[in-house]
Structure 1
């Protein structure tokens, strides 16, 4: 599995909107090879993260154009600045039900 992690800068004019987030999640999950999406907010820290998960390195690579569009549109709508986008291989994981 592979992950793409995007770091955003938030500010006083950031407008985190559940409808925008739900639409972004739906669009990402429609991309072939998508395994999941997390969005994390830093509260007062001026920072947010999104993590998308992909079946394979090829799926992650193929998703880049669509993911770039979704990221740019949702960050503009919510008034967040994209700071960094990085990709990683997920080498271990543990989830509790």
Structure 2
């Protein structure tokens, strides 16, 4: 089964709390049809964060673009993040242990 991913890159600041509104934001993302998961990663450099969302089809990915823009804007304001970029990918391989 082919999956798709959206990766949003953020610049963090001194007031950024990567855990602020984490559950509310994730629930908003997961409520979108076709969403299969989400990861939020804080860079070890302390200046960068990534949000990775996984989608069950290209149509689901496309249909989530507008809601994703709204969620990104809201969570960026709440968490003191600056959106640096947004990219979309086809997932060509994956594996999970345990």
Name the TM tier (shorter chain).
over 0.9
Question: How many Å separate the matches in 2 of 1:51 and 1:79?
Answer: 18
Question: How many Å separate the matches in 1 of 2:5 and 2:27?
Answer: 17
Question: How many Å separate the matches in 2 of 1:51 and 1:43?
Answer: 17
2:33 alignment partner in structure 1: 32
Shift of 1:44: 3.8
Question: How many Å separate the matches in 2 of 1:96 and 1:17?
Answer: 25
1:14 alignment partner in structure 2: 16
Shift of 1:11: 1.3
| Greater helix content | 1
1:84 alignment partner in structure 2: 85
**SS of alignment partner, residue 32 of structure 2:** coil
Which runs of 5 or more structure 2 residues have no equivalent in the other structure? none
**SS of alignment partner, residue 64 of structure 2:** helix
1:53 alignment partner in structure 2: 54
**SS of alignment partner, residue 35 of structure 1:** strand
Which runs of 5 or more structure 1 residues have no equivalent in the other structure? none
Superposition RMSD on alpha carbons, in Å?
A: 1.0
Question: How many Å separate the matches in 2 of 1:85 and 1:48?
Answer: 12
Deviating beyond 6 angstroms after TM superposition, the runs of 4 or more aligned structure 1 residues are none
